Amino acid sequence: MTGKRTTTTLALDLGTTTGWALRSGDGAVTSGTESFRPGRFEGGGMRFLRFKRWLAEIELLAGRPGAIYFEEVRRHAGVDAAHAYGGFLGQLTAWCELRGVPYQGVPVGTIKRHATGKGNAGKEQVIAAVRARGFAPTDDNEADAIALLLWAMETHGMEGEG
């Protein structure tokens, strides 16, 4: 592909508090977090429906992503975290498949190594590395998503940082 990248790229740190970073077609980078904590009077699947609706809102506001990258987690702190991650991952991959959006999981160690030089870096080290690149993440979820987006931009030949 030649010329400036014109598609949107989305990077996600999936979880109850999902970190996200989006590079729009003009190269601008925005990021944040979105909470999918279950409501007191909601059924267990409502968080996943809200996640799917949120993806549709991203598409509506920023255009259909040209690619989505997500943090590929192989170990979880507990069973609930593993179940939540699996639910979000299932919704994400089905959403992408329905729309023909390419998606790729990236191992946590790969993201940390790219951001900090250490594959086993702690949360604070990733936050500091992302801040050193000119971003202002509010927490580790947002920092992880930004680090993942930077990895995607730099390893897939996208110009600029936003």
Identify the sign of the CA torsion 18, 156, 62, 149: positive
What would the pLDDT profile of 92-136 be if each residue is shown by its tens digit? 999 999 999 999 999 999 999 999 999 999 999 999 999 999 999
For the segment 11-16, the average pLDDT, to the nearest whole number, is 96
Does position 5 have pLDDT exceeding 60, yes or no? no
Q: Strand, helix or coil at 138?
A: coil
Which stretches of the chain are DSSP H helices?
46-62, 79-99, 108-116, 123-132, 140-155
Average pLDDT over residues 50-73: 96
Task: Supply the mean pLDDT for the chain.
Answer: 91
Residue with tokens 């790219």: 114
Q: Are 37 and 45 in contact (CB under 8 A)?
A: no
- Phi, psi angles (nearest 5°) of residue 90: -60, -45
Determine the average pLDDT of the residues in 69-77: 87
Q: Which domains does the chain have, with CATH numbers?
A: 8-155 (3.30.420.10)
